[in-house]
Amino acid sequence: MTENIRFGCAPIAWTNDDLPELGKENTFEQCISEMALAGYEGTEIGNKYPKVASQLLDYLKPRNLSVASAWLSLFLTTKPYEETESAFINHRDFLYELGAKVIVVCEQGKSIQQREDMSVFTEKPHFTDEEWLKLTQGLEHLGRLAREKDMRIVYHHHMGTGVQTTAEIQRLMDNTDPETVSLLFDTGHLALSGELPLAVFEQYKSRIHHIHFKDIRPDVQQRAQIQDSSFLDSIKQGIFTVPGDGYIDFEPILQAIEAADYKGWIVVEAEQDPAKANPFIYAKNAKNYLNQIQRKQEKKYIS
């Protein structure tokens, strides 16, 4: 049932790219060694990873880790397209050398992700019709560049950006070509935005080619919403955690993913302070939790 699914882990639990002070003491080698020890097959790429493909592979191969993908910030709505295209081609070619098949992209024009003075719950940005056109046309251009290397772009809907809600995801999907623009499915960002992750997966399963699994602590979410916290402050408070440690029920989600014959990566990701949440322990607990769900579903399948 699961031979087409590979489980990876994101380095953001060891060292946070948005908040580099979180986990600054943790080394790249510790991160990838603990991922492998926790039972994962792959990794996404963090800011401490080598920037030369051959050097990175020299570290990953002895640990039997592959590269699932890496994030690229886009500025299609606020900067000339040519600037984004140049950065994209460099990023694409780097991932191609590493053997990755998908490229995680997210529009950061007007984003409040990095704004500690703005509430992620009440002050999210919205695109004008003109900005939507720049975004969708730009994504299709980038998608065609990715297909030149037999790769795909997977768009990451994200808290604090112009593509966050179910309606915004729908507008993006309705106005782009399925052959050039795919979707990244992130359980944590959907749930935190008040959306229904399972419903979103069912609606766009044919266009989903990359998955992030993270959970949410309900008490922290309630406090952050009452305080009108920023995205970064919410992370510091511990709003995100790994699957099995929050309120999201991953069993029906994983069942739907397998029923859809999904082929690709499921990446466990939880932006946390590693001083408060040991990244190895949490990564291992998440893998054990997902393994238990899979074993349960396999027994049902066999019976």
**DSSP notation for 186-232:** EHHHHHHTT--HHHHHHHHGGGEEEEEE-EE-HHHHHHHHHTT--HH
Range of the domain at 41: 5-302
On the question of pLDDT at 132 being above 90, the answer is yes
Q: Which residues of 74-112 are buried (b: 16+ CB within 10 A; e: fewer)?
A: bbbbeeebeebbeebeebbebbbebebbbbbbbbbbbbb
Q: For the chain, what percent of residues have pLDDT higher than 70? A: 98
* Phi, psi values for residue 208, rounded to 5°: -90, 120
| pLDDT (0 to 100) of residue 280 | 98
Which residues are CB-contacts of 135 (< 8 A; sequence separation ≥ 6)?
76, 77, 107, 109, 127, 162, 163, 172
- In what side-by-side order are the strands of the sheet with 152-156? 66-69, 42-44, 5-9, 264-268, 208-213, 181-186, 152-156, 102-107, 71-74
Mean residue pLDDT of the chain comes to: 96
On the question of pLDDT at 1 being above 50, the answer is no
Cα–Cα distance for residue pair 292/135, rounded to 1 Å: 40
Least confident of 71-80, 171-180, 228-237, 291-300: 291-300
Give the mean pLDDT of 249-264.
97
| pLDDT (0 to 100) of residue 301 | 66
Give the mean pLDDT of 260-270.
96
Give the mean pLDDT of 262-285.
96
Domain count, the chain: 1
On the question of pLDDT at 122 being above 80, the answer is yes
Check if the beta carbon of residue 118 is closer than 8 Å to that of residue 112.
yes
Check if the beta carbon of residue 212 is closer than 8 Å to that of residue 270.
no
| pLDDT (0 to 100) of residue 12 | 96
On the question of pLDDT at 302 being above 80, the answer is no
pTM of the model: 0.97
Give the tens place of pLDDT for each residue, 24-37: 999 999 999 999 99
Check if the beta carbon of residue 30 is closer than 8 Å to that of residue 71.
no
Q: What is the CATH number of the domain that holds 19?
A: 3.20.20.150
Check if the beta carbon of residue 5 is closer than 8 Å to that of residue 210.
no
Give the mean pLDDT of 59-87.
98
